[in-house]
Amino acid sequence: MKEIVLITGASGMIARELVKRIGNEYDIRLLTRKKERNNEYEWDIKKGTIDESALENVSHIIHLAGANISEKRWTEERKKELISSRIDSAGLLLNTLKKKDIRLKSFISASGINYYGTETTEKNFTEKDSAGSDFLSEVVVLWEKAAEKFKEQNIAERVVKIRTSVVLSEKDGALKKMIPPIKSYIGSPLGSGKQYMPWIHIEDICSIYEFALRNTSINGAYNAVSPQHATNTDLTKKIAEVLNKPLFMPNVPGFILKLMFGELATAILEGSRASSQKIQEAGFQFQFPDLKEALENLLNHEK
Protein backbone atom coordinates (compact mmCIF):
# COMPACT_ATOMS: atom_id res chain seq x y z
CA MET A 1 0.00 0.00 0.00
CA LYS A 2 1.40 3.40 -1.00
CA GLU A 3 2.14 6.02 1.64
CA ILE A 4 0.00 9.13 1.41
CA VAL A 5 1.71 12.48 0.79
CA LEU A 6 -0.32 15.68 1.21
CA ILE A 7 1.03 18.69 -0.70
CA THR A 8 -0.03 22.30 -0.06
CA GLY A 9 0.56 25.15 -2.49
CA ALA A 10 -0.76 22.85 -5.20
CA SER A 11 -0.87 25.49 -7.94
CA GLY A 12 2.78 26.51 -7.56
CA MET A 13 5.48 25.44 -10.04
CA ILE A 14 7.36 23.28 -7.52
CA ALA A 15 4.21 21.40 -6.52
CA ARG A 16 3.22 20.81 -10.15
CA GLU A 17 6.62 19.35 -11.05
CA LEU A 18 6.99 17.42 -7.80
CA VAL A 19 3.70 15.59 -8.32
CA LYS A 20 4.99 14.31 -11.67
CA ARG A 21 8.13 12.96 -9.99
CA ILE A 22 6.66 11.17 -6.99
CA GLY A 23 3.13 10.40 -8.20
CA ASN A 24 3.89 6.78 -9.11
CA GLU A 25 5.44 5.84 -5.79
CA TYR A 26 3.16 7.75 -3.41
CA ASP A 27 -0.56 8.38 -3.13
CA ILE A 28 -0.74 12.17 -3.67
CA ARG A 29 -3.32 14.49 -2.17
CA LEU A 30 -3.41 18.22 -2.84
CA LEU A 31 -4.80 21.05 -0.72
CA THR A 32 -6.27 23.81 -2.83
CA ARG A 33 -8.72 26.69 -2.59
CA LYS A 34 -11.00 25.15 -5.24
CA LYS A 35 -11.33 21.42 -5.77
CA GLU A 36 -11.19 20.34 -9.42
CA ARG A 37 -9.85 16.76 -9.29
CA ASN A 38 -10.53 13.69 -7.17
CA ASN A 39 -7.25 13.95 -5.25
CA GLU A 40 -7.80 17.62 -4.37
CA TYR A 41 -9.23 18.88 -1.08
CA GLU A 42 -10.37 22.39 -0.24
CA TRP A 43 -9.11 24.68 2.49
CA ASP A 44 -9.46 28.37 3.24
CA ILE A 45 -6.62 29.77 5.32
CA LYS A 46 -8.31 33.12 6.01
CA LYS A 47 -11.46 31.41 7.27
CA GLY A 48 -9.48 28.68 9.03
CA THR A 49 -11.39 25.88 7.31
CA ILE A 50 -10.10 22.62 5.85
CA ASP A 51 -11.57 19.41 4.48
CA GLU A 52 -10.41 17.16 7.30
CA SER A 53 -10.67 14.04 5.15
CA ALA A 54 -7.52 15.26 3.36
CA LEU A 55 -5.53 14.29 6.46
CA GLU A 56 -6.87 10.78 6.98
CA ASN A 57 -3.99 8.26 7.04
CA VAL A 58 -1.46 10.83 5.79
CA SER A 59 2.17 9.88 6.38
CA HIS A 60 3.93 12.99 5.03
CA ILE A 61 3.06 16.62 4.41
CA ILE A 62 5.04 18.78 1.98
CA HIS A 63 4.08 22.33 2.87
CA LEU A 64 4.65 24.62 -0.12
CA ALA A 65 1.84 27.12 0.48
CA GLY A 66 2.81 30.79 0.62
CA ALA A 67 1.92 34.00 -1.23
CA ASN A 68 4.47 35.05 -3.87
CA ILE A 69 7.10 37.35 -2.31
CA SER A 70 7.76 39.36 -5.47
CA GLU A 71 4.29 39.51 -6.99
CA LYS A 72 3.09 42.78 -5.45
CA ARG A 73 4.40 45.86 -3.62
CA TRP A 74 4.88 45.30 0.10
CA THR A 75 2.03 47.32 1.57
CA GLU A 76 1.30 46.64 5.22
CA GLU A 77 -1.64 44.51 4.12
CA ARG A 78 0.54 42.55 1.69
CA LYS A 79 3.16 41.96 4.38
CA LYS A 80 0.49 40.47 6.63
CA GLU A 81 -0.64 38.24 3.76
CA LEU A 82 2.93 37.03 3.10
CA ILE A 83 3.25 36.00 6.74
CA SER A 84 -0.29 34.62 7.17
CA SER A 85 -0.18 32.47 4.03
CA ARG A 86 2.81 30.64 5.53
CA ILE A 87 2.27 30.67 9.28
CA ASP A 88 -1.53 30.45 9.54
CA SER A 89 -1.63 27.67 6.94
CA ALA A 90 0.87 25.61 8.95
CA GLY A 91 -1.11 26.33 12.12
CA LEU A 92 -4.32 25.14 10.50
CA LEU A 93 -2.64 21.86 9.53
CA LEU A 94 -1.10 21.41 12.96
CA ASN A 95 -4.32 22.05 14.87
CA THR A 96 -6.34 19.75 12.61
CA LEU A 97 -3.80 16.94 12.96
CA LYS A 98 -3.86 17.36 16.77
CA LYS A 99 -7.65 17.35 16.80
CA LYS A 100 -7.77 14.13 14.77
CA ASP A 101 -4.83 12.60 16.70
CA ILE A 102 -2.82 11.97 13.52
CA ARG A 103 0.97 11.57 13.66
CA LEU A 104 3.15 12.19 10.60
CA LYS A 105 6.38 10.50 9.61
CA SER A 106 7.61 13.81 8.22
CA PHE A 107 6.64 17.45 7.78
CA ILE A 108 8.71 18.98 4.99
CA SER A 109 8.30 22.74 4.73
CA ALA A 110 9.39 25.24 2.15
CA SER A 111 11.52 28.05 3.57
CA GLY A 112 13.60 30.84 2.07
CA ILE A 113 17.26 31.55 1.47
CA ASN A 114 16.42 35.08 2.67
CA TYR A 115 16.66 33.64 6.19
CA TYR A 116 20.17 35.09 6.32
CA GLY A 117 19.11 38.62 5.43
CA THR A 118 18.94 40.73 2.31
CA GLU A 119 22.38 42.24 1.95
CA THR A 120 25.25 42.01 -0.51
CA THR A 121 28.35 40.60 1.18
CA GLU A 122 31.08 38.14 0.27
CA LYS A 123 30.02 35.83 3.09
CA ASN A 124 28.94 32.34 2.05
CA PHE A 125 26.10 31.57 4.46
CA THR A 126 25.68 28.09 5.93
CA GLU A 127 22.81 26.63 7.94
CA LYS A 128 24.77 27.36 11.14
CA ASP A 129 24.59 31.13 10.55
CA SER A 130 22.03 33.20 12.41
CA ALA A 131 19.04 34.91 10.85
CA GLY A 132 19.12 38.40 9.38
CA SER A 133 17.10 41.32 10.69
CA ASP A 134 15.05 42.59 7.73
CA PHE A 135 11.44 41.87 6.76
CA LEU A 136 12.15 38.81 4.60
CA SER A 137 14.29 37.30 7.36
CA GLU A 138 11.43 37.85 9.77
CA VAL A 139 9.03 36.07 7.41
CA VAL A 140 11.35 33.07 7.07
CA VAL A 141 12.08 32.83 10.81
CA LEU A 142 8.33 32.77 11.57
CA TRP A 143 7.82 30.27 8.73
CA GLU A 144 10.42 27.90 10.17
CA LYS A 145 9.13 28.28 13.73
CA ALA A 146 5.67 27.28 12.49
CA ALA A 147 7.21 24.15 10.94
CA GLU A 148 9.24 23.29 14.05
CA LYS A 149 6.05 23.10 16.12
CA PHE A 150 5.17 19.84 14.36
CA LYS A 151 8.22 18.22 15.97
CA GLU A 152 7.97 20.09 19.27
CA GLN A 153 4.35 19.02 19.73
CA ASN A 154 5.06 15.44 18.66
CA ILE A 155 2.91 15.64 15.54
CA ALA A 156 5.76 14.74 13.17
CA GLU A 157 8.71 12.41 13.71
CA ARG A 158 10.94 14.81 11.80
CA VAL A 159 10.77 18.29 10.30
CA VAL A 160 12.76 19.42 7.26
CA LYS A 161 13.05 23.07 6.21
CA ILE A 162 14.10 23.67 2.60
CA ARG A 163 15.64 27.16 2.32
CA THR A 164 14.82 27.79 -1.30
CA SER A 165 16.80 30.10 -3.58
CA VAL A 166 15.65 31.60 -6.90
CA VAL A 167 14.13 28.67 -8.79
CA LEU A 168 15.00 28.72 -12.48
CA SER A 169 12.14 27.52 -14.69
CA GLU A 170 11.14 28.63 -18.15
CA LYS A 171 7.49 28.19 -17.14
CA ASP A 172 7.33 30.56 -14.17
CA GLY A 173 9.26 32.79 -11.79
CA ALA A 174 12.28 35.06 -12.26
CA LEU A 175 13.71 33.41 -15.39
CA LYS A 176 10.44 33.63 -17.29
CA LYS A 177 10.31 37.37 -16.53
CA MET A 178 13.91 37.93 -17.63
CA ILE A 179 13.59 36.22 -21.03
CA PRO A 180 11.30 38.69 -22.92
CA PRO A 181 13.38 41.87 -22.38
CA ILE A 182 16.60 40.06 -23.29
CA LYS A 183 14.99 38.65 -26.45
CA SER A 184 13.76 42.18 -27.25
CA TYR A 185 17.29 43.65 -26.81
CA ILE A 186 16.33 45.68 -23.74
CA GLY A 187 17.57 43.31 -21.03
CA SER A 188 20.18 44.50 -18.54
CA PRO A 189 21.46 43.81 -15.01
CA LEU A 190 19.58 45.38 -12.09
CA GLY A 191 21.18 48.02 -9.88
CA SER A 192 24.89 47.40 -9.42
CA GLY A 193 24.49 43.89 -10.80
CA LYS A 194 26.98 42.77 -8.14
CA GLN A 195 24.32 41.33 -5.84
CA TYR A 196 24.46 37.55 -5.65
CA MET A 197 21.45 35.58 -6.83
CA PRO A 198 21.43 32.17 -5.15
CA TRP A 199 19.72 29.95 -7.74
CA ILE A 200 18.60 26.39 -8.38
CA HIS A 201 17.20 24.51 -11.39
CA ILE A 202 13.54 23.45 -11.05
CA GLU A 203 14.58 19.79 -11.45
CA ASP A 204 17.07 20.06 -8.59
CA ILE A 205 14.68 21.73 -6.15
CA CYS A 206 12.11 19.00 -6.84
CA SER A 207 14.85 16.39 -6.40
CA ILE A 208 15.73 17.89 -3.00
CA TYR A 209 12.12 17.54 -1.84
CA GLU A 210 12.08 13.96 -3.11
CA PHE A 211 15.42 13.31 -1.39
CA ALA A 212 14.08 14.73 1.90
CA LEU A 213 10.93 12.62 1.60
CA ARG A 214 12.78 9.36 1.01
CA ASN A 215 15.64 9.79 3.52
CA THR A 216 14.63 9.63 7.17
CA SER A 217 18.08 10.90 8.22
CA ILE A 218 17.28 14.31 6.71
CA ASN A 219 16.32 16.67 9.54
CA GLY A 220 16.36 20.42 10.08
CA ALA A 221 17.30 23.22 7.68
CA TYR A 222 19.01 22.81 4.31
CA ASN A 223 20.03 25.43 1.77
CA ALA A 224 18.44 24.52 -1.57
CA VAL A 225 20.94 26.38 -3.73
CA SER A 226 23.27 25.46 -6.58
CA PRO A 227 26.97 25.02 -5.69
CA GLN A 228 27.91 27.59 -8.36
CA HIS A 229 27.47 31.20 -7.26
CA ALA A 230 26.25 33.89 -9.64
CA THR A 231 25.60 37.61 -9.46
CA ASN A 232 22.68 39.34 -11.14
CA THR A 233 25.07 40.40 -13.92
CA ASP A 234 26.33 36.82 -14.33
CA LEU A 235 22.81 35.50 -14.68
CA THR A 236 21.72 38.21 -17.12
CA LYS A 237 24.79 37.71 -19.31
CA LYS A 238 24.45 33.92 -19.29
CA ILE A 239 20.78 34.11 -20.32
CA ALA A 240 21.73 36.45 -23.18
CA GLU A 241 24.57 34.14 -24.19
CA VAL A 242 22.35 31.06 -24.26
CA LEU A 243 19.68 32.96 -26.25
CA ASN A 244 22.37 34.36 -28.60
CA LYS A 245 21.25 37.93 -27.85
CA PRO A 246 23.53 40.91 -27.20
CA LEU A 247 23.11 43.15 -24.16
CA PHE A 248 23.08 46.81 -25.20
CA MET A 249 21.33 48.55 -22.34
CA PRO A 250 23.01 50.01 -19.24
CA ASN A 251 22.13 48.63 -15.82
CA VAL A 252 18.67 49.55 -14.53
CA PRO A 253 19.33 52.15 -11.81
CA GLY A 254 18.39 51.11 -8.31
CA PHE A 255 16.25 54.21 -7.70
CA ILE A 256 14.02 53.25 -10.65
CA LEU A 257 13.37 49.85 -9.10
CA LYS A 258 12.68 51.48 -5.72
CA LEU A 259 10.12 53.76 -7.37
CA MET A 260 8.51 50.79 -9.11
CA PHE A 261 8.56 48.24 -6.30
CA GLY A 262 9.04 50.16 -3.05
CA GLU A 263 10.55 48.11 -0.20
CA LEU A 264 10.38 44.98 -2.37
CA ALA A 265 13.25 46.45 -4.45
CA THR A 266 15.64 45.55 -1.62
CA ALA A 267 15.12 41.86 -2.37
CA ILE A 268 16.01 42.54 -6.01
CA LEU A 269 19.00 44.83 -5.45
CA GLU A 270 20.75 42.94 -2.64
CA GLY A 271 21.85 39.34 -2.18
CA SER A 272 24.57 37.12 -0.73
CA ARG A 273 25.91 33.67 -1.42
CA ALA A 274 24.68 30.54 0.36
CA SER A 275 26.41 27.20 0.72
CA SER A 276 25.07 23.89 -0.63
CA GLN A 277 27.63 21.84 1.32
CA LYS A 278 25.24 20.43 3.93
CA ILE A 279 22.76 18.92 1.46
CA GLN A 280 25.63 17.56 -0.65
CA GLU A 281 27.31 15.98 2.37
CA ALA A 282 23.97 14.29 3.13
CA GLY A 283 24.31 12.53 -0.23
CA PHE A 284 22.38 14.77 -2.60
CA GLN A 285 23.78 15.22 -6.09
CA PHE A 286 22.85 18.19 -8.25
CA GLN A 287 21.82 17.43 -11.81
CA PHE A 288 22.45 21.04 -12.87
CA PRO A 289 25.24 22.56 -10.74
CA ASP A 290 26.51 24.74 -13.62
CA LEU A 291 24.55 27.89 -14.53
CA LYS A 292 25.15 27.80 -18.27
CA GLU A 293 24.21 24.12 -18.53
CA ALA A 294 21.09 24.77 -16.44
CA LEU A 295 20.04 27.63 -18.72
CA GLU A 296 20.77 25.62 -21.87
CA ASN A 297 18.52 22.87 -20.54
CA LEU A 298 15.72 25.32 -19.79
CA LEU A 299 16.01 27.67 -22.75
CA ASN A 300 16.84 25.32 -25.59
CA HIS A 301 13.39 25.80 -27.16
CA GLU A 302 13.59 29.61 -26.75
CA LYS A 303 16.37 30.08 -29.29
Query: 15-59: per-residue pLDDT in tens?
Result: 999 999 999 999 999 999 989 888 999 999 999 999 999 999 999
- 3-state class of 192 per DSSP? coil
Give the whole-number percent of the chain exceeding pLDDT 90.
82
Any idea what the Cα angle at residue 45 is, between residues 40 and 50, rounded to 5°?
A: 45
Distances (CA, A) of 32 to 6, 69, 99, 109, 175: 11, 19, 21, 16, 25
Task: Give the pLDDT confidence score for residue 254 in this predicted structure.
Answer: 86
Task: Give the pLDDT confidence score for residue 269 in this predicted structure.
Answer: 85
Distances (CA, A) of 176 to 92, 181, 225: 33, 10, 19
Confidence of residue 145 (pLDDT cuts 50, 70, 90): very high
The per-residue pLDDT for range 71-94, each reduced to its tens digit, is 889 999 999 999 999 999 999 999
The Cα–Cα gap between 89 and 66 comes to 8
4-169+199-226+274-288 maps to which CATH number?
3.40.50.720
Distances (CA, A) of 295 to 4, 70, 204, 241: 34, 22, 13, 10
The per-residue pLDDT for range 168-204, each reduced to its tens digit, is 999 888 899 999 999 998 899 999 999 999 999 999 9
The backbone region for 220, taken as left when phi is positive above 0, alpha when psi lies in -120 to 50, beta otherwise, is left
**Residues in a beta bridge with 164:** 112, 224
The per-residue pLDDT for range 247-267, each reduced to its tens digit, is 988 888 887 888 888 888 888
Q: Which amino acid is at 44?
A: D
Across 136-147, average pLDDT: 96
Cβ-based neighbours of 38, under 8 Å, separated by 6 or more:
none
Tell me if 224 sits within 8 A of 205, measured CB to CB.
Answer: yes
CA-closest candidate to residue 270, choices 80, 176, 136, 177:
136
Across 287-296, average pLDDT: 97
- State yes or no: pLDDT of 302 exceeds 70: no
Kindly report whether the global pTM for this prediction surpasses the value 0.75: yes
Confidence of residue 303 (pLDDT cuts 50, 70, 90): low
